[in-house]
Amino acid sequence: RPLVPAGIQVEQLVQYGRHPHQGWFNQWSEEDARMVRWACERMQLGDILAQSASSLSGGQAQRVWLAMVLAQDADIILLDEPTSALDIGHQTEVMEAIHQITAEGKTVLIVIHDLATAARYCDELIAIGEGKIQAMGPAREVVTKPLIDRLYQTDVDILHAPGDGAPIIVPRRRPQAFAMQRQA
């Protein structure tokens, strides 16, 4: 989790997203204020704007960082493991917020190792292994047993989630493999 300067409030942190639009002759504007308000609304931060950013839960903090990124108003957003170290409730909260960003026309590229989350929330997946692209396309085409087994040197079952049919990766037990490694 990124470090936050002591004493900084949530709204101030989101305002940092407008820094690239500032300069000697281009100081804080009504457009900057509008973009910060818009980003805070999108990430549902209204009730915590005056709160110290260092006091937030993991999910709240991620929403604040996403608001800061949104305030930049970039067409393409790059995120590295936005749900790492979050519990399942906060993971869902953050991925729903990211999904909302894409619904509003932004392109979001995410590096994520949680295959179930990627399969459920991402429109397109790119599987990378051995330094090159191994597969690319919709989750239902990319998340296959042969690919996952090969990329992760494992043995999995691929199930389909009720409702939306998103692929769910379930590792098979291999107790003999662990016992053999311990004996070696």
List the chain domain ranges: 10-112
Spatial distance between the Cα atoms of 112 and 146, rounded to a whole number of angstroms = 20
**Per-residue pLDDT for the chain (184 aa), expressed as one digit of tens each?**
567 777 899 999 999 999 988 877 778 889 999 999 999 998 889 999 999 998 988 888 888 998 999 999 999 999 999 888 888 888 898 899 899 889 888 999 999 999 989 999 999 999 999 999 999 999 889 999 999 999 999 999 999 999 989 999 999 987 776 666 666 5
Spatial distance between the Cα atoms of 17 and 66, rounded to a whole number of angstroms = 10
pTM: 0.78
Q: How far is CA 139 from CA 8, 21, 50, 144, in A?
A: 40, 36, 40, 9
Handedness of CA 165, 109, 144, 170 (dihedral sign): negative
CATH 3.40.50.300 for the 10-112 domain, yes or no:
yes
171 SS3 class = strand
Q: At what angle do helices 88-103 and 30-42 cross, to 10 degrees?
A: 130
